[in-house]
Structures are given as C-alpha cells and as structure tokens.
Amino acid sequence: MIHYCCDVCQRTIDSENELRYVVRMEVYAAMDSSADREDAGDRDHLEEIQDILQRVEDDESDRIDNDVYQQLRFDLCPECRVRFLKNPLARETIKQFHFSPN
C-alpha cells in the first residue's frame, strides 16, 4: 500500500478513508517579441512552446534549465486543498508582512 502525505502540512493522508488532491503546475518562460505582436491573434503560443519542448526533449532531455520550464506536482489533504483554492498565489500571506521603511 502506498502512503501519501500532504505537501503543505506534512500530515499523512489515509487514502482509504479520505480524498487526496493533486495539484499540477507548469511554469514556463513566455516567448513574446514586439515583432510578433501584430499577428499574435493567429498563433497558438502554447502549441509553439510544446513543439520547442518536444524538440529539445528529443535532443537533450536534461538540458532544459528551470528558468525556462518547470513542472511541479503536489499532494494535498482536504483541508489544505480548501486553503489553496482560496488563495492559490499566496497573495494574502505576502500582505501580512509589514516591513519598516529603512
């Protein structure tokens, strides 16, 4: 039997009696250029990035830098799922810090 634990609170998730939620994220560099903005409506940028990634994957699978592309996966317990959905970018957490002007 596989044991899961919440990546936020580190609590063990009982997969037989409670739901486990998976959050998947992709973070990739946006490839915008001023010359391409005129016909940007006709292009599928996500498809272009996917094509580039597949070509690079075929040639040099380990050479993509984390600055260009990252794929993340997290397991969440039901309580952390609720908190994550209320504030997925942690904006409220950032606002809680009050630094003195120096």
Q: For the segment 60-94, what is each residue's pLDDT rounded down to a tens digit?
A: 555 567 778 899 999 999 999 999 999 998 887 66
Give whole-number Cα distances, 62 to 2, 14, 36, 90, in Å: 28, 35, 29, 30
18: which 2 tokens?
Answer: 């409670």
Q: What is the pTM of this model?
A: 0.60
Q: Which two tokens stand for residue 53?
A: 């990634």
The secondary structure of residue 50, as a DSSP letter, is H
CB within 8 Å of 53: residues ≥ 6 apart: 64, 69
Q: Where are the domains of the chain?
A: 1-28+69-90, 30-66
β partners of residue 28: 69
Q: In Å, how far from its chain's centre is CA 74? A: 9
pLDDT tens digits for range 11-59: 999 988 999 999 999 998 887 665 555 555 677 788 888 887 777 766 5
